[in-house]
Amino acid sequence: MKAITLDELETASEVVTAHMAPTPHIRWPLLASRTGAEVWVKHENHTPIGAFKIRGGLNYMNKLKAEQPDCPGVITATRGNHGQSVALAASLAGIPATVLVPFGNNPEKNAAMKALGAELIEHGDDFQEAYEHAGGLAAEKGLRPIPPYHPWLIEGVGTYALEFLSAEPDLDTVYVPIGMGSGISGLISARDALGLKTRVVGVVAEGAPCYALSFEAGRAVSTDTADTIAGGVACRVPDEDALGLILEGAERVVRVTDDAIMEAMGHYLTDTHNLAEGAGAAPLAALLDERHKMAGRKVGLVLTGGNAGRAVLRRVLDGG
């Protein structure tokens, strides 16, 4: 995939800001005390769906509407935030949306996707099985398949990074979760387009390490399972295009445990009064693991998203 340019990010930003305000970035003193770093949080939990995915959906549907105004419908697979993005953006564009989720998916996210107008179909034991089935249904029903990783999605998602890095160009390092790669790709693209030196650190869960394994090997490495409370990073087959950009532009990819993720969710509640889902809290978990090497530095954390399920949240409130 070609690099996303500054012109493309700025054009996507016009599309995104027509539907939502830029999200805040806030310096939190209690997180600084806890980590020893100057910590700035980009609050993508404050978007209309509580995650940066909405930016990609808005840009994708805007371009799809221009390219195929009579599109009969779109179909995609998700663990939740991407599906909410597609559902909301498709609804705004007047396009029917079908979303596949694995069995046992976060019930609150499922309810949100239905409320946003999507037809929800449960299939398979994990994201990958739902994704593969969505491809078959797309061909069967004549629907436009939306993959989890696509240039139009990256352009839109990257607008969060354009906002963040334009406002704080002297960030030493930014930690960002890796699901299928749109968030970190948008960050790398914006960093490079702005000509900055900010280091980008990707974060995955120990139970879903495909991108960490792939980064270490320098090639795509799939896993048999993706077992983590953080549904937004529960992927087991890396995207080749995403991996290429990560290998070129990321400083490192680190792994965090589910216990560390839940602890970070608790810190967000106590230190910032924000609700973070597992994927959204993973960057803070990584910074806490690396706090000795990051002490005294100006660090950014991408909090996306805020859609924690009640069962996980109950465990966090009870101490993990």
Tens-digit pLDDT profile for residues 279-305: 999 999 999 999 999 999 999 999 998
The verdict on residue 1 lying in a domain is no
Whether residue 125 is predicted with pLDDT greater than 70 in this model: the reply is yes
Mean pLDDT of 115-138: 94
Shared domain check, 134 and 191: no
Nearest to 163 by CA among 25, 8, 304: 25
Q: What is the mean pLDDT of residues 162-170?
A: 98
Of residues 215, 161, 149, the one with CA closest to residue 186 = 161
Under a CB-based contact definition with an 8 Å cutoff, are residues 89 and 57 in contact? yes
pTM for the structure as a whole: 0.94
DSSP 44: G
If one counts the domains in the chain, the total is 2
CATH number of the CATH domain containing 112: 3.40.50.1100
> Based on the domain organization, do 192 and 312 belong to the same domain?
yes
> Does residue 117 carry a pLDDT above 60?
yes
Of 99, 115, 145, the last residue of a domain is 145
CA distance 202 to 282: 10
Tell me, yes or no, whether 162 and 265 share the same domain. yes
Convert the pLDDT of each residue in 221-237 to its tens digit: 999 999 999 989 999 99
Tell whether 158 and 297 lie within a shared domain. Answer: yes
Q: Are 177 and 44 in contact (CB under 8 A)?
A: no
Task: Write down the pLDDT at residue 319.
Answer: 76
Residue 242 belongs to some domain of the structure: yes
Specify whether 108 is located in the same domain as 231: no
74 DSSP 8-state letter: E
* Judgement on whether residues 98 and 70 belong to the same structural domain of the protein: yes
Same domain, 141 and 198: no
What is the model's pLDDT at position 18? 97
- Average pLDDT of the residues in 187-216: 98
Round the CA-based radius of gyration of the chain to a whole number and report it: 18
Distance, in Å, from the CA atom of 185 to the CA atom of 181, rounded to the nearest integer, reads 6
Last residue of a domain, one of 98, 123, 145: 145
> Structural domain of residue 121, as residue ranges?
53-145
Of 94, 121, 145, the residue at which a domain comes to its end is 145
Q: How far is CA 58 from the centre of its chain?
A: 15
Confidence of residue 320 (pLDDT cuts 50, 70, 90): low
Distances (CA, A) of 88 to 73, 117, 214: 13, 7, 32
Q: How far is CA 310 from CA 90, 218, 228, 287, in A?
A: 27, 38, 16, 25
Q: How does pLDDT run across 298-316, given as a tens digit for each residue? A: 999 999 988 888 888 888 8
Instruction: Verify that 95 and 206 share a domain, yes or no.
Output: no
